[in-house]
Amino acid sequence: MLLERPGTPLRSVELPHPKPGPGDVLLRVRACGVCRTDLHIVDGELTQPRLPLVIGHQIVGETEDGRRLGVPWLGWTDGTCRYCTTGRENLCDEARFTGYDLDGGYAEWAVADKRFCFPIPEGYGDLEAAPLLCAGLIGYRSLRLAGDPERLGLYGFGAAAHIVAQVAAWEGRRVFAVTREGDRAVQGFARSLGAEWAGAGAPPEELDAAIIFAPAGELVPAALKAVAKGGTVVCAGIHMSDIPSFPYEILWGERVLRSVANLTRRDGEELLALAPRVPVRTKVEAFPLERANDALAKLRAGGFEGALALVP
Ligand SMILES: [Zn+2]
Ligand SMILES: [Zn+2]
């Protein structure tokens, strides 16, 4: 399913079989998760995609010899810059991203640099594993960068929050899920995954940290107001609408506001080792590959539980 121009639907086309270069692996795609970042690319909010492009960066693929590998957003780094050599390859200036700089997984076949693939843990089906590869990874990195909160707020309860809520509850944290007004089904879903409270508006007590998954800038001052002194607000998305100005008072008291960018391979290794221990259970609705545009429309509309993935 090919993106030819931002702002236009993906088009079903026959492409030549992708050829693995040195160090690459050829994968038959078994499932590919649908991520909000895919929407930002299709909508032109992320402005530098390679075109034409196969999007999709939560690929569960199978090698010719039957191994299942996961391909995440981080597809390649130079390994030599000041970020890469200090454990921060997620910030590499030369990084190439799957489904953005490199063709991704909205396809029947994909190639990926072996060094950036993860073995898929046993016990996860192809579909169930797909959202671990971005929603899970970004959620996990955001949770680690939120400090060690007793009371954790999750703003926007989509694919990432439905995974991170399970990890956080398993770690003994109290989880508060802030959803859109009237999203009763999603609120019930959040409670079923360990949230002690789920609702719209301000949580019933102060938080020690908040992670904002929804791409809505107005949530930043709302979350800052909800966290206690010394608390951290993490913006987990790659794109967000502008943040309205706010009084310094709500940042004062050593509150921290930060973003999370991309992932390191270490994040992936840690999450994929942790997920079976929790165990994290993902809820994933499958769409046939050729209905990718319908899956993107469903993600845009929101209001469903869990994650979406394409199956060739
Ligand atoms: Zn993603
Ligand atoms: Zn680098």
pLDDT tens per residue across span 65-94: 999 999 999 999 999 999 999 999 999 999
Q: Which domain holds residue 174?
A: 137-259
Are both 163 and 124 inside the same structural domain? Answer: no
Section 44-64 average pLDDT: 97
Cα-to-centroid distance, 69 and ligand 2 (Å): 23
Cα-to-centroid distance, 243 and ligand 1 (Å): 21
Cα-to-centroid distance, 96 and ligand 1 (Å): 14
Task: For residues 223 and 95, give the distance between their C-alpha atoms in angstroms, rounded to a whole number.
Answer: 31
Residue 227 clears pLDDT 90, i.e. is over it: yes
232-265 pLDDT, tens digit per residue, is: 999 999 999 999 999 999 999 999 999 999 999 9
Ligand with smallest separation from the Cα of 262: 1
Are both 201 and 100 inside the same structural domain? Answer: no
Sign of the torsion angle spanned by Cα atoms 219, 222, 224, 226:
negative
- High-pLDDT (> 90) share of the chain, %: 99
* Residue 237: per-residue pLDDT: 92
Length of the chain: 312
Are both 228 and 175 inside the same structural domain? Answer: yes
Residue 303 clears pLDDT 90, i.e. is over it: no
Cα-to-centroid distance, 76 and ligand 2 (Å): 9
Residue 64 clears pLDDT 90, i.e. is over it: yes
How many contiguous H segments (helices) and E segments (strands) does the chain have? 8, 17
Mean pLDDT score across all residues of the chain: 97
* Residue 29: per-residue pLDDT: 98
Cα-to-centroid distance, 263 and ligand 2 (Å): 13
* DSSP-assigned states of every residue in 256-279: EEEE--S--HHHHHHHHHHTTTTT
Residue 221 clears pLDDT 90, i.e. is over it: yes
Are both 46 and 188 inside the same structural domain? Answer: no
Are both 6 and 129 inside the same structural domain? Answer: yes
Are both 20 and 160 inside the same structural domain? Answer: no
Are both 95 and 167 inside the same structural domain? Answer: no
Ligand with smallest separation from the Cα of 89: 2
Task: For residues 260 and 139, give the distance between their C-alpha atoms in angstroms, rounded to a whole number.
Answer: 9
Ligand with smallest separation from the Cα of 264: 2
Are both 168 and 244 inside the same structural domain? Answer: yes
* Residue 96: per-residue pLDDT: 98
Are both 231 and 246 inside the same structural domain? Answer: yes
Are both 129 and 275 inside the same structural domain? Answer: yes
Section 207-232 average pLDDT: 98
93-144 pLDDT, tens digit per residue, is: 999 999 999 999 999 999 999 999 999 999 999 999 999 999 999 999 999 9
Cα-to-centroid distance, 28 and ligand 1 (Å): 20
Residue 33 clears pLDDT 90, i.e. is over it: yes
Are both 39 and 181 inside the same structural domain? Answer: no
Instruction: Dig out the tokens for 208 from the structure.
Output: 């020690």
Sequence-distant (6+) residues with CB within 8 A of 177 are: 153, 154, 157, 161, 165, 187, 190, 191, 195, 197, 198, 199
Ligand with smallest separation from the Cα of 98: 1
Overall number of domains in the chain: 2
* CATH code for the domain in which residue 115 is found: 3.90.180.10
Are both 7 and 113 inside the same structural domain? Answer: yes
Pair 231, 209: CB distance under 8 Å: yes
Residue written as tokens 């402005």? Answer: 47
Ligand with smallest separation from the Cα of 236: 1
**Sorting pLDDT into bands at 50, 70 and 90, what band is 49?**
very high
Ligand with smallest separation from the Cα of 88: 2
Q: Which residues surround ligand 1, an ion (CB under 5 A)?
A: 35, 37, 134
To the question of pTM greater than 0.75 for the whole model, the response is yes
Section 22-36 average pLDDT: 97
* CATH code for the domain in which residue 222 is found: 3.40.50.720
- High-pLDDT (> 70) share of the chain, %: 100
